[in-house]
Amino acid sequence: MDKIFLNNLKIDTIIGIHDWERELKQTLHFNLEIDWDIRLAAASDNIADTLDYGAIAQTIVEFVEHSSYQLIEALAEDLCTLLLSNYPIPKLKLSLSKPVALHGNNIAMIVIERPA
């Protein structure tokens, strides 16, 4: 299966369990790996024959900017459900990371894979 990647999508939103996290927007980083057969689009050179990753990116931005989750796990799960229900994606792998203040500047990241 071919893959379409959408990497380093940065979106500001409210996320976290601590009081200070509920007051300030944080920048989340998204990477997607989408299974997709590109042969038809390669032969036709027509956007109608492929997955419109611009539309997918816009869907992600709109959803995340208007969200207010406590856990990145919940956000990732709901985002995958939304994308799989709105686009004919056979399989999706989503990486989501957020900054954390553990010992300096660190990143917490999760990766989930979901079939359609």
Taking every pair of C-alpha atoms in the chain, what is the biggest distance, in angstroms? Answer: 53
Tell me the angle at which helices 72-86 and 53-65 cross, rounded to the nearest 10 degrees.
140
**Which ranges constitute the DSSP H helices of the chain?**
19-23, 39-44, 53-65, 72-86
- In the three-class reduction of DSSP (H, G, I as helix; E, B as strand; rest coil), residue 21 is classed as helix
- Euclidean distance between CA atoms 80 and 62, whole angstroms: 14
Question: Are the C-beta atoms of residues 78 and 95 closer than 8 Å to each other?
Answer: no
* Residues identified as active-site: 98
Its pTM stands at: 0.93
pLDDT tens readout for residues 19-69? 988 999 999 999 999 999 999 999 999 999 999 999 999 999 999 999 999
Q: What percentage of the chain reaches a pLDDT higher than 90?
A: 90
